[in-house]
Structure 1
Amino acid sequence: MLRYFKLNVLPNLLYYLVKIIYATNKKVYHHPKNDGKPIIICMWHGDLMSQPYNYFNFRQNGVVKAMISHNKDGEIIAKLVSNFKIGAVRGSSSKGAAKVLISALKELKSGNDLAITPDGPRGPRYSVADGIVALAQKSDAKVVCFNAVPTKFWQFNSWDKFILPKPFGRIDFYISEPFDIKGIEIEEAKKIIKDKMLIHSMP
């Protein structure tokens, strides 16, 4: 019964809760020009709840797939984001890494955008795993950083310090200019991504 609730009821409850919260907030978007080319969206695990609003303001008719792990939290997240019309590419660095990389590359090649949390699914917070670098260097897509900064919020005591905005505040949504990390050593590429992501990150 508990598993059924988590997988079939909880995602829908969270979806409507999020819809209500974001409807009551003033939303301010800081976006670059949209050139329509496929992008790799980089967002922190603790900030992922805000990003459907960020994305669909940027690309109203866009198609985006999120890389989501196979763990229990991943099941809930996959069902939740499907309510926002976001698809999923399932897998992680520890389970089926090569298969999920191939699936992600196919999505980009077909013209879809791909979203990834480089510090997920286990952290540490604000770390950058190798996967996003491999994806960017094996595809023609550039990386774009997504952040959201609410004026009023709850911050959970989880490893990712998960952020949920409170009602009746203001949320600033940020999207960086697309950038390329091809031909850059992996550790340097990870540092570039992290530095750009931290510009508008929550403390």
Structure 2
Amino acid sequence: MKLFFKLKILPYFLYFLVRLIYATNKKVYHHPKLDDEAYIFVMWHGDLLSQPFNYKAQRANKVVKGMISLNKDGEILSKTFSLLGIEAIRGSSSKGAAKVLISTIKEIKSGSDVAITPDGPRGPRFSVANGVVAIAQKSGSKVVVLNSKPSKYWQFDSWDKFVLPKPFGKIDFYMSEPYDISNLQIDEAKDFIKEKLMVHSIK
């Protein structure tokens, strides 16, 4: 019964909750003008739930597929995001890494955007795994950084300090210009992505 609730009921509850929260908040978008090419969108795991709204405000007519882990929490997120118009690529840097790397590059080559949390699914918080760099460099795709900053929010005591905006406030949504990391060494690229992600992050 508990598993049934988590997989069948909880995604719909989360969907309607976030729709309600974002409907009652004033939304301010800080977005560049992006071309129609496929990009890799990166965001921190703790800021994950805000980003479908951030992305769709700029890329409403594009297909985006998010890399989501294979565990039960990933199943919940996958179902919730599907309701928000985000398709899933199942896997992570720790499980199914080679398969998900190939699948993600294929999606980019076919014209789909992809979304990745470089510190997910297990942290440490604000770390950047090698996978996002490998995907960017092997696909030739540029990286775009997403952040959100609500004026009022709950912050949970989880490893990622997950942030959920409160109703009736304001949310600033940030989207960076596209960054080309193809000529950087892997550690340089990871440091670069982290630096850009931290600019508008909630600590």
Give the structure-2-normalised TM-score.
0.99
Q: Where does residue 107 of structure 2 map in the other structure? A: 107
Cα displacement (A) at 1:183? 2.2
**Residue 62 (str. 1) matches residue 79 (str. 2):** no
Query: 2:61 corresponds to which letter in structure 1?
Result: N
- Whole-Å separation in 1 of the counterparts to 2:94 and 2:146: 25
* 2:92 partner amino acid: S
Residue 93 (str. 1) matches residue 100 (str. 2): no
2:174 aligned with 1:160: no
Tell me the SS of whatever aligns to 2:124: coil
**2:42 aligned partner:** 42
Match of 2:25 in 1: 25
1:81 alignment partner in structure 2: 81
1:173-192 equivalences under 5 Å are: 173-192=173-192
Percent pairwise identity: 66
RMSD: 0.6
Deviation at 1:123, TM superposition (A): 0.4
Q: Distance in 2 between matches of 1:67 and 1:27?
A: 26
Aligned to 2:53: 53
For 1:188 and 1:109, how far apart are their aligned partners in 2?
25
Q: Number of residue pairs matched?
A: 203
Q: Deviations over 1:53-103 (max 9, x none)?
A: 000001111100000010111010000000011100001112111110000
Secondary structure of 2:115 counterpart: strand
Alpha-carbon distance in 1 for matches of 2:120, 2:93: 10
Counterpart amino acid of residue 75 in structure 2: E
SS at match of 1:61: coil
**CA distance, structure 1, for counterparts of residue 185 and residue 141 of structure 2:** 17
What's the CA shift for 1:184? 1.1
Q: Distance in 1 between matches of 2:156 and 2:96?
A: 30
Normalising by structure 1, we get a TM-score of 0.99
> 1:145, CA displacement in angstroms?
0.2
Partner of 1:147: 147
Q: Structure 2 counterpart of 1:142, which letter?
A: K
1:10 maps to 10
Q: CA deviation at 1:140?
A: 2.1
Once residues 87 and 14 of structure 2 are traced to their aligned partners in structure 1, the CA distance between those partners, rounded to angstroms, is 17
Residue in 2 that maps onto 1:194:
194
After TM superposition, what 4+ stretches of structure 1 lie above 2 angstroms from structure 2?
none
